[in-house]
Structure 1
Amino acid sequence: MGCRKRAAKHQLLRVTAIEGVCVPDPRGALPGRGAHLHLDPTCLDLAVRRRAFPRAFRLQGALDTERLREYVEERAGGTPAS
Structure 2
Amino acid sequence: MGCRARVAKRELLRVTAGSSTDGRPAVVPDPTATSPGRGAHLHPTSECYELAVRRKAFPRALRIPAGTGVSTALLGEYLGQRDHQA
1:48 and 2:69 aligned: no
Residues 10-67 of structure 1 show CA distances to partners (whole Å, capped at 9, x for unaligned) of 1100000113111100001111100001111010011011110000011113311111
Q: Which of 63, 77, 82 is the aligned partner of 1:70?
A: 77
TM-score, normalised by the number of residues in structure 2: 0.84
SS at match of 1:46: helix
SS at match of 2:14: strand
Equivalences, count: 78
1:57 is matched with 62
2:26 is matched with 21
Query: Identity, % of aligned pairs?
Result: 54
Gapped runs of 5+ residues in structure 2?
20-24
RMSD, matched Cα: 1.3
Note the C-alpha offset of 1:76: 2.2
Gapped runs of 5+ residues in structure 1?
none
TM-score, normalised by the number of residues in structure 1: 0.88
